[in-house]
């Protein structure tokens, strides 16, 4: 009878805890997802982009899903099983503590087997990690490079390499399993064998009269109740360790340094002049910018030029507040950009490059993202202003054309012009233009340039320039070299003062002659 009650209690507890943990788990996962997404919004953009979108999908979608069965089932079952087992065990100890202990003799045996098994882990585990990594790398190379592989007629050789990696990737696990095969299975057989100690000891105690035979039968039945949950728990040990791994992946993202910003602005910028004072910035322990100072006047055209890797793009990203400076300060109209909330600051700056992303929504909605609550008329107005209206109207569904992969086939140039219209609608007083990467589509370069001209008119403009002729009329050109400002001034001034600029200009002219 007592057995029945204990059993019912455990069962009811189990049912209740699993049931209640479900709502909680889904809520928890949903919140974790939202928190991760929010985190991406507050950490430095550069740090966000250090991981691929595939990695984020893995962490935010796939991995989070994998937590669900474990959290919702394993945790309550784990607790229910353990609590049940402990209750049973206490009751058994109450009936006869000697038999209660004897039944546990199988546990040391099982543990020893598992200990031996685990001892081989350091020998085999690193190898599986190595081989798995090698296999994944081989896969990425083979598939990513398939175009090159086939074009160079190397598909047989490369396939051979891949096959070798795939075989090794499987064999290392098989070898590992082989090495621990005996101990694992022996342990698995020993662990639940409580009868091994219970039956003989119980019989002996019955024979010497210190245990009532009826009690022995009760003990046998109870022992079955103890073993089953323990085995179940054992089966979950793996899942429990996996959850740790998953959570640590998420924690890695959550632990990234945030950009510290106040929730409300202390001061409003007096103008849209930009000033950098002794700005230093390092990436992965390498200092990229060495104490840079520069002044950009309100409403002027400014260009950052310099060899690739000089740090000109980094300066632009710092001004756009995509990264934080290590030391020094960037101010807009006298206000340190760190004293403005990102949401406020973002209104002041439009960053235009070829990577401008369109969402899988209509052209209308994509442009509207530029300003919350803009009317259809305002959207069209912006499109007209930058010369996009006509081409949008010529699309089969006009402004309702869907921009994403599922929608019409917009060309690179068309997508780019829509993103310029979006920036137009935003009407930010500061525009940062990454010219070097802004033409994906040479056939539509001229129209894009037109749109850009209209977008940038009257703004404080910073161009990361590639073609020196483009910025010949700029109010100020900053020549960046090895993380320092080598020279600054108008083109004429630079041509006279800077040998580096002069040689770049000559190079450029030579290339243009080739072209024109």
Partner 1 sequence: MRRERRRHNVSYIKKFFDFCGEKERKQFYFSIFLGVFHALFVAMRIPAVFVVVKAILEGGLSKQTAYSAAGIICASIVLQTLVSLKTTMLQTRGGYHTSSIKRMEIAEHLRYVPMGYFNTEGLGKVTSIATNTMDNLAGIATRCVMVVTKGIITTLVIIASMFFFKAEIALVALATMAVYLLGTELMIRAESKTSDKATTAQDTMVSRILEYVRGIAEVRNFNLFGRSITSVDDSIDAFTTYSTHLETTYEIAMFLLSSLNKISGVVMMLMSIAFYLNGSMSLVYAVMMMICSFMIFESLDQVGAFNGLTRTIENCVDKANEALSSPTMDIDGKNITPENMTLTVRNVDFSYDTKKIIDNVSFEIPEKTTAAFVGPSGGGKTTITQLLARFWDIDKGQIHLGGTDIREYSYDSLMKNFAFVFQNVYLFNDTIENNIRFGKPDASREEVIQAAKAACCHDFITALPDGYDTVIGEGGASLSGGERQRISIARAIMKNAPIIILDEATANVDPENENLLMQAVASLTREKTVIMIAHRLKTVENADQIFVIDRGKIVQHGRHTELMNEDGIYKRFIGERKEAAGWKISSRA
Binders in 110-129 for partner 1, by CB under 8 A: none
- Other CB atoms within 10 Å distance of the CB of residue 308: 8
Report, in Å, the least distance between residue 214 CB and partner 1.
Answer: 8
The residue behind tokens 């402990």 is 86
Cβ neighbours of residue 490 under 8 Å, at least 6 residues apart?
Answer: 474, 475, 476, 477
Binding mask 180-209 for partner 1 (x = CB under 8 A): -xx-xxx-xxx--x-xx--xx-xxx-xx--
Burial 163-180 (b: 16+ CB within 10 A, else e): eebeebbeebeeebeeeb
Nearer to partner 1, 90 or 177 (CB): 177
Position 179 contacts partner 1 (CB under 8 A):
no
Q: Which segment (158-166, 243-251, 273-281, 478-486) binds partner 1 by CB under 8 A?
A: 158-166
* Binds partner 1 (CB under 8 A): choice among 454, 484, 493, 497: 454
Scanning residues 253 to 292, which ones bind partner 1 (CB under 8 A)? none
Q: How far apart are CA 365 and CA 375, in angstroms?
A: 10
Nearer to partner 1, 356 or 488 (CB): 356
Helix axes 213-254, 195-207, angle to 10 degrees: 150
Q: Distances from the Cα of 359 to the Cαs of 228, 353, 369, in angstroms?
A: 53, 16, 10
Scanning residues 411 to 430, which ones bind partner 1 (CB under 8 A)? 411-413, 422, 426
* Binds partner 1 (CB under 8 A): choice among 92, 99, 332, 349: 349
Structure tokens at 454: 């209209």
Position 484 contacts partner 1 (CB under 8 A):
no
Nearer to partner 1, 163 or 278 (CB): 163
Nearer to partner 1, 122 or 458 (CB): 458
Cβ neighbours of residue 374 under 8 Å, at least 6 residues apart?
Answer: 368, 382, 425
Position 337 contacts partner 1 (CB under 8 A):
no
Report, in Å, the least distance between residue 47 CB and partner 1.
Answer: 11
Q: How far apart are CA 40 and CA 47, in angstroms?
A: 9
Nearer to partner 1, 141 or 381 (CB): 141
State the DSSP code for 440: S
Position 476 contacts partner 1 (CB under 8 A):
no
Q: Distances from the Cα of 182 to the Cαs of 106, 110, 397, in angstroms?
A: 17, 12, 67
Scanning residues 20 to 59, which ones bind partner 1 (CB under 8 A)? 22-23, 26-27, 29-30, 33-34, 37-38, 40-41, 45, 48-49, 53-54, 56-58
Position 104 contacts partner 1 (CB under 8 A):
no
Scanning residues 305 to 334, which ones bind partner 1 (CB under 8 A)? 307-309, 322
Left if phi > 0, otherwise alpha if psi is -120 to 50, otherwise beta: which for 292?
beta
Q: Distances from the Cα of 242 to the Cαs of 65, 66, 69, 245, 353, in angstroms?
A: 13, 9, 12, 5, 41
Position 490 contacts partner 1 (CB under 8 A):
no
Position 2 contacts partner 1 (CB under 8 A):
no
Cβ neighbours of residue 72 under 8 Å, at least 6 residues apart?
Answer: 18, 21, 22, 25, 26
Position 136 contacts partner 1 (CB under 8 A):
yes
Report, in Å, the least distance between residue 270 CB and partner 1.
Answer: 20
Position 439 contacts partner 1 (CB under 8 A):
yes
Scanning residues 79 to 98, which ones bind partner 1 (CB under 8 A)? none
Q: Are 241 and 267 in contact (CB under 8 A)?
A: no
Q: Are 102 and 201 in contact (CB under 8 A)?
A: yes
Bridge partners of 186, per DSSP, are none
| Residues in binding contact with partner 1, number by CB under 8 A | 172
Position 499 contacts partner 1 (CB under 8 A):
no
Nearer to partner 1, 11 or 97 (CB): 11
* Binds partner 1 (CB under 8 A): choice among 244, 266, 286, 372: 372
Nearer to partner 1, 111 or 137 (CB): 137
The residue behind tokens 């910003």 is 261
* Binds partner 1 (CB under 8 A): choice among 300, 331, 336, 400: 300
Q: Are 193 and 106 in contact (CB under 8 A)?
A: yes
């Amino acid at each position: 009878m007592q057995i029945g009650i204990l059993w019912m209690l455990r069962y009811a507890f189990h049912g209740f805890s699993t049931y209640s943990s479900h709502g909680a788990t889904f809520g928890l996962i949903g919140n974790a997802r939202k928190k991760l997404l929010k985190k991406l919004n507050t950490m430095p953009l550069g740090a966000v982009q250090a991981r691929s979108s595939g990695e984020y999908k893995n962490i935010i979608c796939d991995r989070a899903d994998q937590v669900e069965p474990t959290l919702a089932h394993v945790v309550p079952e784990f607790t229910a099983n353990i609590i049940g087992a402990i209750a049973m065990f206490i009751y058994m100890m109450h009936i006869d503590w000697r038999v209660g202990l004897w039944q546990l003799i199988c546990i040391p045996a099982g543990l020893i087997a598992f200990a031996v098994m685990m001892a081989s882990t350091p020998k085999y585990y690193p190898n599986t990690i190595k081989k798995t990594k090698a296999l994944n790398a081989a896969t990425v190379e083979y598939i990513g490079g398939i175009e090159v592989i086939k074009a160079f007629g190397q598909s047989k050789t490369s396939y051979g390499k891949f096959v070798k990696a795939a075989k090794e990737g499987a064999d290392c696990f098989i070898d590992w399993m082989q090495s621990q095969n005996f101990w694992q299975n022996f342990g698995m057989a020993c662990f639940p064998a409580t009868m091994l100690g219970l039956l003989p000891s119980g019989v002996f105690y019955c024979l010497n009269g210190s245990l009532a035979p009826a009690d022995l039968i009760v003990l046998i039945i109870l022992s079955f109740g103890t073993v089953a949950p323990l085995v179940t728990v054992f089966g979950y040990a793996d899942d429990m360790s996996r959850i740790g791994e998953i959570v640590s992946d998420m924690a890695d993202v959550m632990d990234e340094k945030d950009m510290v910003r106040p929730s409300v602005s202390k001061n409003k910028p007096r103008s849209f002049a930009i000033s950098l004072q002794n700005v230093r910035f390092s990436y992965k322990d390498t200092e990229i910018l060495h104490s840079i100072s520069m002044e950009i006047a309100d409403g002027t055209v400014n260009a950052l030029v310099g060899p690739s890797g000089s740090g000109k793009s980094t300066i632009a990203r710092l001004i756009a507040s995509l990264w934080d400076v290590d030391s020094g300060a960037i101010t807009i109209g006298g206000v340190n950009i760190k004293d403005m909330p990102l949401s406020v600051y973002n209104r002041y700056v439009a960053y235009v490059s070829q990577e401008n992303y369109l969402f899988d929504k209509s052209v209308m909605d994509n442009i509207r993202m530029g300003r919350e609550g803009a009317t259809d008329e305002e959207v069209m107005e912006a499109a007209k202003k930058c010369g996009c209206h006509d081409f949008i109207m010529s699309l089969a569904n006009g402004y309702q054309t869907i921009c994403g992969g599922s929608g019409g086939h917009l060309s690179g140039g068309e997508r780019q012009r829509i993103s310029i219209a979006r920036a137009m609608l935003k009407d930010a007083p500061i525009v940062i233009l990454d010219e070097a990467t802004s033409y994906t589509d040479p056939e539509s370069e001229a129209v894009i340039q037109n749109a850009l001209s209209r977008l940038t008119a009257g703004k404080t403009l910073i161009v990361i320039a590639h073609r020196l002729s483009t910025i010949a009329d700029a109010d100020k050109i900053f020549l960046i070299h090895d993380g320092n400002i080598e020279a600054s001034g108008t083109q004429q001034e630079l041509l006279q003062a800077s040998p580096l600029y002069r040689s770049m200009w000559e190079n450029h002219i030579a290339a243009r002659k080739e072209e024109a």
